Amino acid sequence: MVQYTDIGDVSSAEVERMRAVYEPLAAAVRELIDATIRTEVDADTVGEVTAEIAAATARLRSRQCDGPFGVRSTTGGDRMAWGNPVIGIRNPIAPPLTIQRNDDGGVFTDFHLGAAYEGPPGHVHGGVSALVLDHVLGEVAANEETPRFTGTITLRYLRPTRLGELHAEARITRTDGFKAYAAGHLADEDGITVEAEGIFIQPKWARG
Amino acid sequence: MVQYTDIGDVSSAEVERMRAVYEPLAAAVRELIDATIRTEVDADTVGEVTAEIAAATARLRSRQCDGPFGVRSTTGGDRMAWGNPVIGIRNPIAPPLTIQRNDDGGVFTDFHLGAAYEGPPGHVHGGVSALVLDHVLGEVAANEETPRFTGTITLRYLRPTRLGELHAEARITRTDGFKAYAAGHLADEDGITVEAEGIFIQPKWARG
């Protein structure tokens, strides 16, 4: 069972205050991830930095939530998917993507992927392209009134995707009862690299 | 063009020495990622930790490789995909998976996914399942003699995958010229959650 967390009557101003506290921490850890992969400093320095990081982690863990972050919503309608590995502002694994909506109901996002997302040298890992496209198609296929989860997704890789500035977009192609069909693509600076189509299904517990 | 890096006549002992230096750093950053998502310490502490992390990053960046890590090979045959986001021992985004081979040529891996990989509350992000399965199918479909990249992959989600102890496996179902067909699945403690099948293609530049 998938359970969302209602954090009650928390104001939007308080949500923004929390964002301002935690977003810079995750941004700093993202930079650290990149540096961890690329550093060539000597073994002694690596050892010292490793100890510093362990100490920082201990400070953060002195007070933390049990288990994962979850998806938290306020009575006023603010929705905090802050732990999400694609869009989560508190998750250093997330690039993070900012999903934008077109007038026609489609979604798109422009973002940057660096060293942490590399599969074939200089290029995006094929599974990372799948991660991004699953999320972007899911964003267009689902909303707060109608949660839908991935039923099936197919990805076609036209050519390797270069690391750097990227674009992804998706649209609903049709809906049929509890199912929404979505299609989209990933593109690098030279055009489309991966095409995706998926079927997203409203889970039984969310059917009114 | 995808270019692998030949680091020349580096001994296996030296590769092991580098692993011993850098692997604990990435492991420490993985713990920090989890703590970053889950911490509830006050704003002042978060600010101090953020500054400490920025300082640690600066130390690591004082000497680093240009661009991403790439995939490095030694003359002796050691292969270092250490920056890979699924198996890379130097990439804090990677769980990392350790791929094991069966006698029949199939591959499998047992691993743990925590807060950093959460999509629906308490469950693995559907795109993370795709990331893992793309990689595991790719591992069985390709090898050093025959590099193959994902051509098409289809994922069928049977039910949500719980965060925690997971298992993935894949096998080649047939090969046809430059193509290998692979199938596999992801499972949590209650059984199979996601099925995958894919076609992996040898790129033109790697055809003898």
At A144 the pLDDT is: 67
Choose from B4, B34, B39, B73 for mutation: most chain A CBs within 10 A: B39
- Given A25, A58, A91, the domain boundary residue is A91
Are both A112 and A194 inside the same structural domain? yes
3-state SS assignment for residue A97: coil
Question: Measured between alpha carbons, how far is B63 from A13 in angstroms, rounded to an integer?
Answer: 41
Tell me whether A63 touches chain B (CB under 8 Å). Answer: yes
Mean pLDDT value across residues B106-115: 98
Does A125 contact B85 at a Cβ distance shorter than 8 Å? yes
Are both A121 and A191 inside the same structural domain? yes
Number of C-beta neighbours around residue A58 at 10 A: 12
Amino acid found at A135: H
Amino acid found at B38: R
Q: What percent of chain B has pLDDT over 70?
A: 99
Q: Are strands A5-8 and A72-74 parallel, antiparallel or unpaired?
A: parallel
Mean pLDDT of chain B: 94
Tell me whether A98 touches chain B (CB under 8 Å). Answer: no
Chain A residues in contact with B56 by the CB 8 A cut-off are: 32, 49, 52-53, 56
Are both A86 and A101 inside the same structural domain? no
Chain B residues in contact with A50 by the CB 8 A cut-off are: 24-25, 28
Residue B152 has pLDDT above 90, yes or no: yes
Chain B residues in contact with A63 by the CB 8 A cut-off are: 39-41
Does B119 contact A84 at a Cβ distance shorter than 8 Å? yes
B12-71 confidence digits (pLDDT tens): 999 999 999 999 999 999 999 999 999 999 999 999 999 999 999 999 999 999 999 999
Tell me whether A116 touches chain B (CB under 8 Å). Answer: yes
Tell me whether B28 touches chain A (CB under 8 Å). Answer: yes
At B144 the pLDDT is: 67
Are both A110 and A165 inside the same structural domain? yes
Are both A131 and A196 inside the same structural domain? yes
Does residue B175 belong to any structural domain of this protein? yes
Q: What are residue B80's DSSP bridge partners?
A: B72
Chain A residues in contact with B35 by the CB 8 A cut-off are: 57, 60-61, 64
The pair phi, psi for residue A137, each rounded to 5°, is -65, -40
Are both A106 and A87 inside the same structural domain? no
At A177 the pLDDT is: 87
Does A116 contact B93 at a Cβ distance shorter than 8 Å? yes
Rounded to the nearest angstrom, the minimum Cα separation between B103 and chain A is: 26
Paired tokens of A150:
């991935």
Are both A102 and A201 inside the same structural domain? yes
Are both A102 and A192 inside the same structural domain? yes
Distances (CA, A) of B22 to A152, B81, B93: 38, 13, 14
Are both A84 and A127 inside the same structural domain? no
Q: What's the domain count of chain B?
A: 1
Q: Which of A30-39, B4-13, B152-161 has the lowest mean pLDDT?
A: B4-13
Q: What are residue B195's DSSP bridge partners?
A: B156, B185
At A23 the pLDDT is: 98
Helix, strand, coil percent values for chain B (each to nearest 5): 35, 30, 35
Chain A residues in contact with B69 by the CB 8 A cut-off are: 37-38, 115, 118
At A50 the pLDDT is: 98
Tell me which residues of chain A, numbers 173 to 202, contact chain B at a CB-CB cutoff of 8 Å: none
Residue B139 has pLDDT above 70, yes or no: yes
Q: What is the CATH number of the domain that holds A177?
A: 3.10.129.10
Q: Which range of residues forms the domain containing residue A46?
A: 1-91
Number of C-beta neighbours around residue B57 at 10 A: 21
Paired tokens of B105:
């040529």
Are both A129 and A193 inside the same structural domain? yes
Are both A202 and A120 inside the same structural domain? yes
Does A120 contact B2 at a Cβ distance shorter than 8 Å? yes
Residues with pLDDT less than 70, chain A: 144, 208
Does residue B108 belong to any structural domain of this protein? yes
